[in-house]
Structure 1
Amino acid sequence: MRRKLGFVSVGAMLLASIAVAQPPARADAAPAGSSTASATVAEARATIHGRVSTDADAAASLGRAYWTPERMRAARPAPLPDGADTLDGEAADRPGRIGAPRDVATPAAPRSPASGPLATSAGAGPEAQAVNASPGVGRVFFTHNGDDFFCSGGTINNPQANLVSTAGHCVHPGDGGSVWYDNWAYAPEYTEGEELHGLWFAKEFTSVEGWVDWGYLWWDFAFVTMHPLHGDRLVDVTGGQGLSVNKSKSLSALLLGYPAEAPYDGLSQYYAQGNIKAAGVQRVKLKDCPLNRGASGGPFLRAWDNTLRFGYVNSVMSYKFSGNMYGPYFDDDVWDIYNVAKNKQ
């Protein structure tokens, strides 16, 4: 079933894309048994027009001048990486560190909560449900090789109230190079092409070498530290999702994002719902998911609270194969990277 989450109306599902010109895992990849190296944190300062911006006001001024409403509408959904159900080298590179199930961050409502629009089913039937759009999910914008693209992402309720989760391919091409994406911006609850909560700009990227150096899909996740906007912190304004690790690979999940290939337009939130399953060694999948390019980086959410409009991020959308949506499994490896990112100011 397809459902759309709009500001004033709703009616279809979504799923997103992945990074630009994304190569499959490299043939000269790290040797078998190199999971320690692959799990090493990879970090970079974000840039605007190729220059590191450490000042929030300057980032907002330069970024806002670049991302005009016309440029945002013209941005293309980032291409999804190529993948499969079984991936060579996964077991050797990421055998998994699955500890006790934990909720390492809890959902939080915005500082000044407001009732949101109702998402209604595009179809009919007894299985149709209503889902509220989340202020804790938004559209991501970035520039790569002179072209403008977009993905999806979600806020995380971290101690500094400034964190966004997304796919690794939405911050770096995964080619082993030193160039991370430029002009990285986040529009929470982007609806009908409008920024309901402003446009926020990245300060720092945190991912893993398994993605940045090798493009391994089982490491396709990242966290992005955001600048304040007009003195406010992102999660204080929009609220934030929780974060879970080591949960069951078979549970009910809600996927939220901004798919942009027909029948979707990428201008509002769409969702897909169902029971996820284990995929390979350290991935999960939602079968028969209609979401497509543009939704990549959007969250797999467990324990969704439709009144609060938040849940717990349990994975992020990475790629599609045979009609199924895949994402990296969130275990203690992901928790380690989150612990690096969560206190960055």
Structure 2
Amino acid sequence: MKRILLPVGVAGLVAASLAVPAHAAPKVGQSAKMATPAAAADTLEFWTADGGKNLKAAAPYGLEHAKVPKHVSTGGPAADGKPGVVPAIGDEAKPTTTTKNVNLPKSAGRVFFTVGDSLYSCSASSIQSAYKNLVATAGHCAYDLEGNASVLGHWVFIPGYYQGKAPWGVYVGKTAYTHHDFSVYEDIDRDFAFVTVYNGITWSEGKWKDLGRLGDNVGGLGFAYNQKVGQNVFVFGYPTAAHPDGDYTYTGSTMKWCYGKPVYPVAEKSVKAEEHQAIRCSMTGGSSGGPWIIKYSSTARKGYLNGVSSLGGDTDGNNRSDLITSPYFDGETYAVYKTAAPLWSGSIVKKDGTLGLTETK
């Protein structure tokens, strides 16, 4: 059976040393199980068998909305507390050199999942957590809005996905955490999710091989909330869909990026979005869930996650995508993040190369 996974090269990162800020936020999160260790075996086989045929066949997944989101005013967000940050993994190791190039973050990657019998993809990123096992993405890239069936099926994260390759392995989703208003009321102002993942896995020498924790392999972004809108932001993702005019500018095989200063608020009532931030960007479907990073260092390839791609479209009527949006990250976003951040996942590879929960805390 052919597989696309390659031998992994792991660059270890030292642990972060900055203190996590205290924040008394309400319990607003909802959780749902994605895969047990037993189900993870089926998920891995599903995506990696036959040379990764299903990975290559996955269609871009986006949130259907009736109109293009519109900037409705120049007012600032109603932050529900003081600004706060959580440091990135290894953030105390400051770079001694600088670069003018935009180096892509190792922490960003592609998400693959199923809705019924259909194959789809989104974008996502690794972020700081107690066990270095947490992924941030859009809520609609984790929760099944169409079928209202809790989570999406066969969910995996592949950091650094590049032309069908998984350089740091495949990470199966364990549990997804969303905002109560998103999972219950489909409030797109809360279109974000945090997913704990099992240790990375690859296929090597006829058996499964455990690659260790996500954050140890690719690092993890910091987390920022209640920030002033208008800071320069880099947005990364894997756009795959055609522009409205039918031009397939993107293939989903490589990571792309945009840069700009967000405006706020941006609204699209057909999906209950009233308080999004937005930048000019030509990314199309498939980029949903990709990280919005403030204070991004191209040398260190990290910064602070301050949003995830949610909506987009053509604002000037030329049939070319030119705008993407993100929910505003406030104290309630931080509360959902903090629910997921201290939770453990572990390894699902046994010594004989078969799958099943083996590691204890």
- Give the TM interval when normalised to the shorter protein: 0.7 to 0.9
Deviation readout 1:185-207 (Å, 9 max, x if unpaired): 01000012211101110000000
Give TM-score, length-normalised by structure 2.
0.72
Give the Cα separation in 1 of the matches to 2:139 and 2:186. 9
* Equivalent position of 1:285 in the other structure: 278
Paired residue type of 2:249: P
Whether the 8 Å contact between 2:176 and 2:195 is mirrored in structure 1 is yes
Q: 1:106: which partner in 2?
A: 88
Choose the corresponding residue for 2:236, options 252, 256, 262.
256
Larger Rg: 2
1:246 aligns with 2:218: no
1:337 aligns with 2:336: yes
What corresponds to 1:156 in structure 2?
127
RMSD of aligned residue pairs (Cα, Å): 2.6
Whether the 8 Å contact between 1:135 and 1:238 is mirrored in structure 2 is yes
Deviation at 1:283, TM superposition (A): 1.8
Q: 8 Å contact 2:28–2:332 — kept in the other structure?
A: no
Q: Distance in 1 between matches of 2:199 and 2:295?
A: 29
Give the superposition deviation at 1:85.
3.5
Alpha-carbon separation, structure 2, partners of 1:266 and 1:147 = 17
Runs of 4+ in 1 over 4 A off after TM superposition: none
Q: Secondary structure of 1:103's partner?
A: strand
Q: C-alpha separation between the residues in 2 aligned to 1:87 and 1:290?
A: 17
Distance in 2 (alpha carbons) for counterparts of 1:176 and 1:336: 26
3-state SS of 2:212 partner: coil
Question: Which structure's relative contact order is higher, taking Cα pairs within 8 Å and 6+ residues apart?
Answer: 1
Q: For residues 310 and 151 of structure 2, what CA distance do their matches in structure 1 show?
A: 18
Q: What amino acid does structure 1 have at the position aligned with 2:115?
A: H
Classify 1:87/1:279 alpha carbon distance in 2 versus 1 (closer, same or farther; 3 Å): closer
Quick one: structure 1 residues 87 and 207, their matched pair in 2 at CA, closer, same or farther if it must change by over 3 Å? Answer: farther
Do the aligned residues in 1 keep the contact of 2:291 with 2:305 (CA within 8 Å)?
yes
Q: For residue 155 of structure 2, what is the aligned residue in structure 1? A: 184
Contact conserved, 1:108 with 1:242, CA < 8 A, in 2?
no
Q: Secondary structure at the match of 2:185?
A: coil
1:228-280 C-alpha deviation (Å, 9 max, x unpaired): 13161110111001110011111100000000122011011100111111124
Match status 1:227 vs 2:226: no
Which structure 2 residues correspond to residues 58-137 of structure 1 after superposition, within 5 A? Answer: 58=38, 60-68=40-48, 69-82=52-65, 84-85=68-69, 96-108=78-90, 130-137=101-108
> Alignment partner of 1:67: what SS?
helix
Q: Does structure 1 conserve the Cα–Cα contact (< 8 Å) formed by 2:34 and 2:173?
A: yes
Contact 1:258 1:295 in 2 (8 A): yes
Q: In structure 2, what residue type is equivalent to 1:315?
A: G
Q: Deviations over 1:292-334 (max 9, x none)?
A: 1011000111001101111111000001142321110001010
Q: Is the 8 A contact 1:81 1:318 kept in 2?
A: no
Q: State the percentage of identical aligned residues.
A: 28
Equivalent positions of 1:196-211 (< 5 A) are: 196-211=167-182
Paired letter, 2:57: A
Which of 107, 124, 140 is the equivalent residue of 2:111? 140
Shift of 1:101: 1.3
> How far has the Cα of 1:173 moved from its partner?
2.9
**Residue ranges of structure 1 left out of the alignment (5+ in a row):** 1-35, 48-52, 89-94, 112-117, 119-128
Q: Which runs of 5+ in 2 are unaligned?
A: 1-24, 94-98, 201-209, 242-247, 267-273, 316-321, 345-361
Question: In structure 2, what is the equivalent of residue 314 of structure 1?
Answer: 306
